[in-house]
Structure 1
């Protein structure tokens, strides 16, 4: 199998290096893409359309799409554009669009008013580690904050290696443009959701909500938000296993 990895906010294709190596050891192929505004494409404008197109440019028939965090949103857009090319789509602590809603709305809408179960990220404190430039680009400016929210189960050397590579996050049109992915809902693709049990970035209520809307039983890994760095071999094995799973319920677009 070939796995196509889509990174989340602040990160780029480099974050998947260890997981790609582990996938290769298991006899499969892994490839990671830089989304516009990230990695080698840091100077490009970041929009919903050009991020989708960056994935489509390398998507091949039979690929397993893996989206991490905000990359789940982008992977869904690509799957909507070319559902026939996707063998399976895996959401790794990842976001899922809500039909007709913007990205911030999809991330904020809850099934109940009191998400008291599990860990709920302290977004207010996390914002204190970020800096914003005059163009609105957001940067993780503090190593301790990145280590705490992204890499707390990594050793300091690994965490610093990753922190030194983090780039700015530009939301572009995602905050104002409602998203519609009708072909994704209609295709009813094989899909999985992996929850990171020690996640300090994705609230557990949101993980539970995304899994419910995907109609899948959660797969779990005992890691931070970044198992691609802290547990790459375990993650690779779980990704291979994920491709053998099937939904237990329907997709919920809204």
Structure 2
């Protein structure tokens, strides 16, 4: 039986996966959405990048999960990639959903225009959530945008500025990368390079950066299919 561990991106908690989780459970999978430290119901907990990595590892070990498909959306791809290489034979596959990919020694903010974000983190210690207008053009209804904005919480800044720590080559781990086309036609940065590996597959969704809200059934279908890939 497949165990899906679902980790949402910046500002979001386990609640973001409600609809996707329901679809996967209906298909017979065990599903474990995870809120990272400092977010949602875990607000107030101190967190750096390695805290989030350990959150994921601890959850898998606490539940003694096997046959794990580890899913990271957006920012969460960075701790998910690091956690995956620490899971050994518990891991079946990684899935990056329009996600950042960790690079050893680099932070989540490396490689993209982020001075405004860095300035906010320096001033407050947090990456502030987006406003409703920032979700335009991402395939979301007004109701879906309102749900995200209402549920979002400030993201602990150190998790985005601390460096990733990798000991191996992520290209050797079985991986599916889901690219959401309304947020750019091609994966960029480290993801583009890793997709040259024979162990990595690319699939696309005709939606924006938050498919767990805009197309939860389709995302669940792709996750279900990822669990059966060799």
Superposition TM-score, scaled by structure 2 size: 0.85
Matching of residue 63 in structure 1 with residue 81 in structure 2:
no
Q: What's 2:125 paired with?
A: 136
Per the alignment, residue 216 of structure 2 pairs with 232
| Structure 1 equivalent of residue 154 of structure 2 | 168
Correspondence for 1:148: 136
- Who is 1:86 aligned against? 91
**CA–CA separation in structure 1 for the residues paired with 2:21 and 2:122:** 33
Residues 211 and 217 of structure 1 are in contact (CA less than 8 Å); yes or no, is this contact kept in structure 2? no
Show the counterpart of 1:102. 107
Contact 2:125 2:158 in 1 (8 A): no
SS of 1:81 mapped into structure 2: coil
User: So what's the TM-score if we normalise by structure 1?
Assistant: 0.77
* Unaligned ranges ≥5, structure 2: none
Inter-partner Cα distance in structure 2 for 1:182 and 1:91: 19
Alpha-carbon spacing, 1:241–1:168, altered in 2? closer, same or farther (3 Å): same
Question: Which 4+ stretches in 1 moved above 6 angstroms?
Answer: 130-133
| Structure 2 counterparts to residues 7-46 of structure 1, below 5 A | 7-46=8-47
Distance in 1 (CA, whole Å) between partners of 2:75 and 2:121 is 19
Matched with 1:249 is none
Q: Is the 8 A contact 1:93 1:207 kept in 2?
A: no
Whether the 8 Å CA contact 2:5–2:71 is kept in 1: the answer is yes
User: Following TM superposition, by how much is the alpha carbon of 1:174 offset from its aligned partner in structure 2, in angstroms?
Assistant: 4.1
Is 1:213 paired with 2:202?
no
> Residue 181 of structure 1 corresponds to which residue in structure 2?
166
Matched residue pairs, number? 221
Q: How much does 1:238 deviate? A: 0.7
